[in-house]
A and B are shown apart, each in its own frame.
Chain A
Amino acid sequence: MDRAETANRIASLIEPFNKKGVTITDDTTFAGDLEFDSLTVMDFVAAIEDEFDIIISMNQQAEIETYGQLVDAVVRLRSEQS
């Protein structure tokens, strides 16, 4: 699975969490643009973890601020953890 395909799957996963219908680019931030609170983060991370069968620990989440960084992290974690 390449970056584009991973990005596509994440795009469909984020839809139910994107309540305000923000246009998402690689620079979109979760805390600022999408206004995710801690509960939303937990549910969204769980959805991604289940989809890709990976763990994104809170330590790793702390490094992920933008949508682009998330896609990169998932690509990397998939290769490391599979």
Chain B
Amino acid sequence: MTEAVSQPDRPQQFEGGERDLFSKFDELIQMREGLLASGMEDPFGLVMERVLSPTVAVCNGRETILLGTYNYMGMTFDPEVIDAGRTALTDFGSGTTGSRVLNGTYQGHKEVEQALCEFYGMDHAMVFSTGYQANLGIISTIAGKGDYIVLDIDSHASIWDGCKMGDAEVVPFRHNDIEAMEKRLRRIPEGAGKLVILEGVYSMLGDVAPLKEMIAVARANGAMILVDEAHSMGFIGPNGRGVAEEQGVLDDVDFVIGTFSKSVGTVGGFCVSNHPKFEIMRLVCRPYVFTASLPPSVVATAATSIRKLMEAGDKREHLWSNSRKLHKGLKDLGFRLGTDEPQSAIISVIMPDLEKGAAMWEALLHEGLYVNLARPPATPANMTLLRCSLCAEHSEEQVDTIVGMFERAGRATGII
């Protein structure tokens, strides 16, 4: 333990009197040390030593059911997906060592963009190296000085960072509050460009947005609309295109942002659009230009997975049945949940406080179950949450086992 940890109130002075730039983290360091000093396992230091399937891994030496990954459609071990990656690795090498606009566009990058156009039924698709960069790049590039961004206060960090990187005026509104959004849109000075940013599924509570109503209001006020469908791709909507498709308003969305790191089962991000001038983004969007493109094996696995997701109706149905079963099981046990009804593949369990939440998280891990511990400031209203994300590969029996684990851990920690 360092001085800074045991005496965080006294700013550390280095020789020469320079202030330690790390002093600003002292409060967090202290909170973390306090948590670990109680003997608990580090919620943010989990190591998966072996991954046995999309739903089971060996974590910290224990065989563990995975209920905190974003592997919604269980594509990570799909034999066709793995074969495609292996072939591309052999044929095209381990990496591109270059930007998409220079030497980093291979056949595979064009093929995955074509697969996205077909998946969404849209004219243009642009693939980024991560989902984070897709939001960062598109938002900071299209909303410039004098433009206004109107966005939900519970937006993902990549959206906020995209706002911060650009020069537009940023105006947030209360989560899913249609009236609050409308008021702000109406007050924007005449002639200013407007971008409304929404998400299909909000990942902390697993709730969906009333996109139909919100998009109608945004349209009526002359705004362009960007929807992040990261947590809905593959299983919400008749073709798995997301919440906008489910609510029948995908045609009114100007830009859909998505990721390969959830249902698709690898890594990467994208934007699809019907905007006639969309292709210019490849030259002006800095997080697209100034970074290396995805490795050939990654785009090959993504393209194969996306094409399989178009035909994944049975898996979609099983995932929904898992979601309903877990939601009911936890609700019947008396846990407080993020939504009254299951709205997505995320079931969020609200903990009384961080201490109890951490204890419950650890008790579940000892039972052999991994969930995500989410705490302020990443959570809405400063809640501590245990976020459960289901997979289409979880069996019915596994969901029963999970409910039993929650029951024992909940009673042991006094939460139910």
Contacts and interface: CB of A to CB of B under 8 A. Distances in A.
B169 interface: yes
Interface string A36-74: 011100110010011001110111100000000000000
Mostly, the B contact residues are mixed
Contact of A54 (B174, B180, B187): B187
B123 to A, nearest CB: 33
**A contact residues, range:** 10 to 19
Contact of A57 (B153, B170, B382): B170
Given A46-B180, A50-B183, A37 B169 contact: no
B352 interface: no
Interface of B: 148, 153, 163, 169-174, 180, 183-184, 187-189, 377, 381-382
B180 A81 contact: no
Contacts of B184: 49, 55
Contacts of B382: 37, 39
Contact of A39 (B163, B189, B381): B381
Mostly, the A contact residues are helix
A50 to B, nearest CB: 7
Given A42-B153, A42-B172, A55 B381 contact: no
B187 A58 contact: no
Interface of A: 37-39, 42-43, 46, 49-50, 53-55, 57-60, 81
B381 A58 contact: no
Given A38-B377, A42-B153, A53 B187 contact: yes
B171 A58 contact: yes
A64 to B, nearest CB: 14
A59 B381 contact: no
18 contacts: A37-B382, A39-B381, A42-B174, A46-B173, A46-B180, A49-B183, A49-B184, A49-B187, A50-B183, A55-B184, A57-B148, A57-B169, A57-B170, A57-B171, A58-B169, A58-B170, A60-B169, A81-B189
